[in-house]
Amino acid sequence: RKEVEQDPGPFNVPEGATVAFNCTYSNSASQSFFWYRQDCRKEPKLLMSVYSSGNEDGRFTAQLNRASQYISLLIRDSKLSDSATYLCVTTSGTYKYIFGTGTRLKVLA
């Protein structure tokens, strides 16, 4: 089993839709969780950290479920500019992060 697993998509959604991605992780000792966004041929950029209590940043909401070992990202009112690949990231021991392979989102006009 991969340490971090994501559905590769693509998720094709109309503008204004709500879309959710899940990511499962295998290391129950993982302490830190993040969602990154990567545009085509660019470096990944931190979208948001994921906290145990869940957190929201504008149209984006992240949740952590430790019992089932998954994190989620919800995007409300999708914009064309949200089209990108979303990477799930967690820690593996000290000083090491593990990336999922990413979920591709395409928002359609």
Q: How far is the CB of 39 from another protein (least distance, A)?
A: 12
Among 86, 100, 105, 107, which residue interacts with another protein (rule: CB under 8 A)? 100
Contact between 69 and another protein per CB under 8 A: no
Which residues share a beta bridge with 1?
Answer: none
Among 73, 89, 105, 107, which residue interacts with another protein (rule: CB under 8 A)? 89
Q: List the structure tokens of 59.
A: 């149209």
- Rounded distance, CA 39 to CA 65, Å? 27
Contact between 101 and another protein per CB under 8 A: yes
Which residues share a beta bridge with 37?
Answer: 45, 86
Q: List the structure tokens of 100.
A: 């999922």
Amino acid of residue 17: A
Integer distance in angstroms from the first to the last C-alpha of the chain?
Answer: 37
Query: Which among 14-22, 62-70, 72-80, 94-102 is the span making contact with another protein, rule CB under 8 A?
Result: 94-102
Residues that bind another protein (CB under 8 A): 29, 31-32, 34, 36, 41-46, 49, 87, 89, 91, 93-97, 99-102
